[in-house]
Structure 1
């Protein structure tokens, strides 16, 4: 069973701090296309366009982008159930382990699959290719949401289609990561914001060898950290863009319309060399290979390093708030992409996908996905959380900020005391619908606006990478090998020639060619 192969690959990739678990079970109750034609209600009756049965219960598996237990998920769940009249079961693994647990769940059989899951990048295309996701194209086309005229981001939805079909719904833009630099560190080192790679590298050198944190000790900090040398999401180079520049470790479509494997190109060898040299010099956190995103954030808040490529928008406020809560200077400089990058990359948006084992997919789409963007109380819940738990309009003082009666404001974070919430699952700054009644639209912090606007003006859209049977067969092993080679070059310092000789010897070049050929064959067959 292919899912078992992919699960094994996923476990191997976790051990190698890798990127992608592709594919899932082909043993679903109905294929993606068949589910669209034969979907049934909870009572087994076919649901017509105007006769969609309301589900009694919906089960979802989600990552940490949905309100977590430490942030009072129970209150969120109860409020959602009160608004919809539907029983909600939330399965929420640890954020960094989400895709491993998801793979294990799918490997256990369709009878254990949740109704809804969150997917992105190759996970989305892989699960769709395996027939594990319900084709929601007709549901979207016939939806009240589409007919409402409120949707402003149809291009985001269209960019999520796989061969013209929609197997997952993006409830917001993806947004992306840009590079933040601590201004106090720049000032202490008498540096300006870098505009080229040489200037960027000089900044890392100063942050590593000097005293940028002002504690009187030279050399007890380092320049930059990241959650792995190759990111687990898409784009996979987004946490260390200054080193990758125009190189990509995964599959890309060229200007000629043909697919290629970026790992095999000469410019990727240049990226590996830059990463290896900076790591050897001590500019990059020595624990980068095994870091999770939370590890990086905590180190950043503790002033262990000064350059962090992370999400634009709301996270600019989160980073600032948490630095200040830790007694550090919170002023950050969001960098325009250096000359060698040209533009940051906005990946394809994460999606909510309905599994093909769901008994009433039309009802789940209508009563779960559509209500999330209703422009009313349910969208408010997904955006800001529960009143008097996550936000309030009461007259009160929160962390030295005083609010008048009726003034919308967020509450102090339960998980991160000393900071205020900025959002919950939906970021209003990335909304794909008009929401005139957004009560928090005037509360967006200046640093969040600045970083999001900078990113929007200096980004390019990534293309979704489709999946094929060949990719599902080989990409798990290929990705494991790629990530192991990257680790060997950067951490162990092996030569580029030795690295690519291993890539050839262990089958990577052969797997890569087979996948590229399959992608191009699929492209030509459209």
Structure 2
């Protein structure tokens, strides 16, 4: 029995494998055995040997653990659950911890033993690769290959599914693209400063200077605003690029592990171009162009500051969020016209992170049935996709004649309703963003309701992005990457905020074990690749 920490790439909860993986499968295999065989089957079928469609038993109950990307209690989750059960005839139990505590609670559930594991969980980034490597997830490769959904010809995102595979096997299903972030700039601020849309780093930096030292908001006071804010200087979250919220400063550098064109893994933090990123960040921060609270900001903090006109350039999600940002600015009495920037020359392309996945745990007694009736049904192109995309009729959306927030709708006209959680705004979606789904939905009733700004921003991103590479988990990474990431974040903060010299920063990296940990992880990744 292996003993390892479930800590891969920033995992927040340490879990002993002796607790987590004992009895991992109903066939009595250990975690390592389940991993090599590919998970459990109560029926005796080995992982990856999916049952024929006519042999798949419909589950009586499915238990899922989700974060707040699924309809929350505040948004009438009870109505969502009731409608799902009406459509399937299956009892659905939803466990939904607070969003920020999701992975902590998930880890605690796994540590308590397989008898307490839910059937289905949402995972992303290192959590997905870590749980898969531990043998805690069911191999759904054959279930997908033999599914009615794949055979339907409606799937448009097979590249996303392929990018989610680990060593050629699928342990989680992405129901939508991950999408990514691009930089929005307030058009009124550009106009007030007499500036054109920036296309190079020098032009971008000049814009930040004007936004910080001039009067971009037109209130008659110079210097009471700043250029850009971010949720962390190195904002890596599961599945998202570490440079996600400050791409103009990182450019071709990034602090995470990556695979070169030669197929060899490396740690971007140790490369020469990362020194340049640190210098750019430090210079702009010391000049006041970057929000001084960026080190401790959450994304909500940034959004609120943006709505209050405290800064003018904000790198955030393309698509639906373009409408959300516009609506909230206008609700706050500010000008809502935003320009989604094409990546500046030095950035080249934005990065699309690896998509979150729905995974079936290896303790699930009927994984084939759960895949068919829960995961596959989300993209049915009918009532179930409607539910996951827009929610429940007359709760989250309606076709009745009515006025919602000064918008008047005729009888039979599809529209979303006022948000229960955020009054004063209308829903744009529920769990599935229809513009990001990986399966074609010809009868999508909300197609015409997608705002122009959302379409434009998504098009700009889609035309100027590249797909991130999933980073596999290794035992060495699980052991050291948590401490390594903490050290990297601390060093970046010392350089940018405290003004530490670049040379002194890398001396600290060497002295405190970062260089050694980094090399060990890189070696393990390359050994993993060479052993396949």
- Tell me if TM exceeds 0.5: yes
**Offset of 1:412 from its aligned partner?**
1.3
Deviation track 1:31-76 (CA, whole Å, cap 9, x = no partner) reads: 24545563449xxxx9842322222222222222111222222211
From the superposition, tell whether residues 122 and 457 of structure 1 become closer, same or farther in structure 2 (CA, over 3 Å): same
Q: Which runs of 5+ in 1 are unaligned?
A: 14-21
Aligned to 2:287: 281
Q: SS of the counterpart of 2:7?
A: helix
Aligned position for 1:130: 134
Distance across 2 between alignment mates of 1:339 and 1:525: 38
Instruction: Indicate the SS of the match to 2:184.
Output: strand
Q: C-alpha distance in 2, partners of 1:152/1:90?
A: 29
Cα offset for 1:10? Answer: 4.2
Q: Aligned with 2:348: secondary structure?
A: coil
Residues 145 and 370 of structure 1 are in contact (CA less than 8 Å); yes or no, is this contact kept in structure 2? yes
Q: CA RMSD in A?
A: 2.2
- Gapped regions of structure 2 (runs ≥ 5): 26-33
**Matched residues in 1 for 2:286 and 2:442: separation?**
52
2:508 to 492, 495, 502: 502
Give yes or no for the alignment of 1:100 onto 2:95. no
Distance 1:102 1:274 in 2: 38
Aligned to 1:242: 248
Q: Does 1:175 align with 2:179?
A: yes
What corresponds to 2:475 in structure 1?
A: 469
User: Structure 2 CA distance, aligned partners of 1:162 and 1:35?
Assistant: 12
Q: Does 259-268 or 470-479 show the bigger shift?
A: 470-479
1:482-515 per-position Cα deviation (integer Å, ceiling 9, x unaligned): 1111122122221111111111111111111111
Match of 2:330 in 1: 324
Q: C-alpha displacement at 1:2, in angstroms?
A: 4.9
Tell me whether 1:190 sits opposite 2:190 in the alignment. no
Residue 216 of structure 1: aligned partner: 220
TM-score normalised to structure 2 length: 0.92
User: How far is 1:28 from its partner?
Assistant: 5.6
SS at match of 1:80: helix
Equivalent residue, structure 2, for 1:18: none
Say whether the 8 Å CA contact 1:177–1:309 is kept in structure 2.
Answer: yes
Residues 33 and 525 (structure 1 numbering): CA distance in 2 closer, same or farther, change over 3 Å?
A: closer
Q: Does 1:514 align with 2:527?
A: no
2:30 is matched with none
Is 1:342–2:348 an aligned residue pair? yes
Query: SS where residue 414 of structure 1 aligns?
Result: coil
Task: Give CA deviations for 1:152-174 in whole Å, capped at 9, x if unaligned.
Answer: 21121111110010000010111
| SS in structure 2 at match of 1:492 | coil
Cα distance change, pair 5–459 in 1 and its aligned pair in 2 (3 A): closer
* 2:390 paired with 1:387: no
Is residue 452 from structure 1 mapped to residue 458 from structure 2 by the alignment?
Answer: yes
Secondary structure of residue in 1 paired with 2:191: helix
Q: Secondary structure at the match of 2:121?
A: strand
Q: 1:134 to 1:12 in 2, by over 3 A?
A: closer
**Matched residue, 2:150:** 146
Instruction: Tell me the distance in 2 between the aligned counterparts of 1:503 and 1:523.
Output: 26
In structure 2, do the counterparts of structure 1 residues 25 and 190 end up closer, same or farther at CA, with 3 Å as the change threshold?
A: farther
CA distance in 1, matches of 2:167, 2:12: 29
Question: Normalization by structure 1: what TM-score?
Answer: 0.93
Deviates more, 1:465-474 or 1:239-248: 465-474
- Which range moved further: 314-323 or 77-86? 77-86
User: 2-side partners of 1:109 and 1:278: how far apart?
Assistant: 49
2: CA distance between counterparts of 1:172 and 1:265? 33
